[in-house]
Structure 1
């Protein structure tokens, strides 16, 4: 046989071998694509697996083209490893996966636990696998043993609640992989659930949050010498307004008697929380501001007062306790939000009916900005600014008609408000 014939035969054989290797690689890739196309199945081939596939293809081509036995050995071994990896991830999974939370709303620092249950819903045993549960930005892994038909496995987990947040718990993914880490099959089994971590708040009983004397307001149990709601009669005391003398009773008893009234008050609180990031020196300042503003809002709700709760991003729901705390759990300090003074100016209509306005901000709000905000508040409204500086003692000073409190701890807020009312 001539040299030319030998060369042509060698090239033909090499081409056939390369075509066979390419076909094998195509079949492996097709199998991976079919796995990935299954319902809610994630990426199958890992980065290492992709490298092994490319190594196998190149080794087959190079080994057959140049006749290198060592390279062909590498190609055979890589192909066998890939085939064995495919066997590990093949098979249909029939799990029933449920995630249950003991509570869907907790307060910062409270214990939040949940339960992960995995049941084999097929008629045959399933091999061990791993369940990955997404919790916020993290992932927790739970090994699931071999389950016979109908068997169930249960794990209890704990969700961190050290900071205020709205946490997505889930989804749950089952993960099956080969021992070499070449292929990884993920199946999503449920939808995420939400855990709302509320900010910590304190009661402000006795602080008269949002009260202003108003003849058209709601009646209180406090007594007044002049108002619209009649309460009782009492003996005249020098200095009483003679217009309130009850002459008929005075004539019958022979001594002066005056009317006494129940005081009526207009009760609307407006809370303005700054969410501009550069008005706070640290995340702890912002967390203190959220807790303080929530304390004002909840105290007004407990006392059946109307509440307007404003942030530069949106208006929060101030009609009930749970909606307000849910909204507070999800707010963040943002770059580019309105400055406090500018925001108050844009919301003058929303603040027009307030009897008390509380401005809550961080330590980096300048006194000039507080003054600018206070002059834009409705006339006659009581104005208080709370500047949150963790670790600082309670201080009080005035900027014009604005009372400014420095708050270093949430537990100091009731005492600070009593100082405002002194």
Structure 2
């Protein structure tokens, strides 16, 4: 590929030769031919490409907004001739980052590190890096792709939130369910041994009777589940920035549940469902709002299968401004849950947000202010 210098050299060569022939000026023709010779040397230089191996790493592959991700490139000259300086181009989310790798003698390597522009939440597909080098006069440039595609997830920024104490203490001899988290001390049932099970939990009596290795299935009983519902409809939010803040609040609740070792389920009014903090954060890195989403009008159908007789559920709804119809709906659902919390991300200069009776409601214009107000209210 021609560089600006190369294009100028071609123009100069053409002009000099033409002017020299027209003016019968041999010296100008000679200068034009010299310029052509320089271009031919540049072509020959690039034809014999150096033999290089490239190893690229991106760490970490999962970061939170505001954190830094870094690319590391190790280039090794495995050929017999020296390699010229290289220009390495990394493309992330439409932004191009160019890094220079110095000239390498045969058998030597160089490692360079560079920051990646991953400031906003999202799923970034990073294509192979582009390795490029030029001739000594920088007339031509040759590039080639190296490595494989990588994916980097940028999670929403999270804030420290205090979980509401609901459901009472975790009773080691309380009721249990097959879906309860493993790792507790409460016996639920006997089941067939699976690779990786603790051999100390093998029930030898049942094993002898059935002829199959049986183990005790122990779980954490009487543990309230945390259900976080993110409103992904566009109308409740005064602008895209308020939806972004709502996503951060939902992510903060997911992380808070994980820190408290509470079972978590994240749902959106659009119908998406995630069962753990890790998968919830990965989903929240790409979630978007939609005008076709029913919003909180779909809440009754959304939670119909959630409440059971053996486990309580603490419901947290993250949305924008709540209208009168949604307020009545939340109050009607209150009796079905251990607690109902309402997080509203609204403009500070708008009307007073709704506060449904029996619902812990906190409103704020941003996720950081919400965390401050929430923690102050819960801890008082």
Comparing 155-164 and 79-88, the one that deviates more:
79-88
For the aligned residue pairs, the C-alpha RMSD in angstroms reads 4.5
Q: 1:392, 1:406 within 8 Å by CA — same for their partners in 2?
A: no
TM-score, with structure 2 as normaliser: 0.66
Equivalence for 2:377 = 419
Equivalence for 2:304 = 349
Please list, as runs of the form range in 1=range in 2, the aligned pairs for 1:5-404 lying within 5 A after superposition. 44=1, 69=22, 83-160=40-117, 162-177=119-134, 184-205=141-162, 207-208=164-165, 211-212=166-167, 219=171, 267-312=224-269, 315-319=272-276, 321-328=277-284, 330-353=285-308, 355-362=313-320, 365-368=321-324, 370-371=326-327, 373-374=329-330, 377=333, 379-381=335-337, 382-389=339-346, 397-399=354-356, 402-404=359-361
* Offset of residue 97 of structure 1: 1.2
Distance 1:367 1:201 in 2: 27
- Structure 1 residues 303-358: Cα deviation after superposition (integer angstroms, max 9, x where no partner): 33332211245534333x43333332x22323434131244245243444462221
User: In structure 1, the residue corresponding to 2:336 is in which secondary structure?
Assistant: coil
Larger Rg: 1
Distance 1:274 1:51 in 2: 58
Distance 1:158 1:80 in 2: 40
Q: 1:348, 1:376 within 8 Å by CA — same for their partners in 2?
A: no
* Offset of residue 371 of structure 1: 2.7
Q: 1:175, 1:184 within 8 Å by CA — same for their partners in 2?
A: yes
User: In structure 1, the residue corresponding to 2:105 is in which secondary structure?
Assistant: coil
* Structure 2 gap ranges (5+): 24-28, 174-220
* Offset of residue 79 of structure 1: 6.6
Q: 1:269, 1:355 within 8 Å by CA — same for their partners in 2?
A: yes
* Offset of residue 164 of structure 1: 2.8
Distance 1:317 1:294 in 2: 12
- Structure 1 residues 54-101: Cα deviation after superposition (integer angstroms, max 9, x where no partner): 9x99xx9xx9xxxx958xx79979976764553343223421112233
Q: 2:163, 2:257 within 8 Å by CA — same for their partners in 1?
A: no
Q: How many residues align?
A: 323
TM-score, with structure 1 as normaliser: 0.60
User: In structure 1, the residue corresponding to 2:280 is in which secondary structure?
Assistant: helix
Comparing 135-144 and 155-164, the one that deviates more:
155-164
- Structure 1 residues 134-167: Cα deviation after superposition (integer angstroms, max 9, x where no partner): 2332121122232111111222212345433333
Distance 1:130 1:99 in 2: 14
Greater fraction helix = 1
User: In structure 2, the residue corresponding to 1:327 is in which secondary structure?
Assistant: helix
Comparing 166-175 and 115-124, the one that deviates more:
166-175
Equivalence for 2:218 = none
Distance 2:5 2:85 in 1: 22
